[in-house]
Amino acid sequence: MNIDREIWQTIEKMPESLKQEVLHYAKYLIENYSKDKDISQEQYPVKKTSFRYLKRNVCFTIA
């Protein structure tokens, strides 16, 4: 399964409140990483992270 499809299927299962938090976090990531125009996979390698870890340790800010 490709990453886009996996993300889509996961988000489809979420209630609207969580979808809004994911959207805010995605925009935050885009804003922070777009400041560095030379982003590459070598600079920011993909790390596999347990969703349970994220669920317990990530705090979303709602603007």
The pLDDT tens digits of the residues spanning 24-46 come to: 999 999 999 877 655 555 555 55
Quick one: which H or E segment has residue 40? Answer: none
Does 4 or 40 have the greater pLDDT score? 4
CB under 8 Å to 58, separation ≥6 — which residues? 25
pTM for this model (two decimals): 0.51
Q: With 70 as the cut, is the pLDDT of residue 48 above it?
A: no
**% pLDDT > 70, the chain:** 54
CA distance 1 to 10: 12
CA nearest 11: which of 57, 1, 50, 21? 21
- Between 32 and 52, whose confidence is greater? 32
Query: Is pLDDT of 55 > 70?
Result: no
Token reading at 25? 């976090």
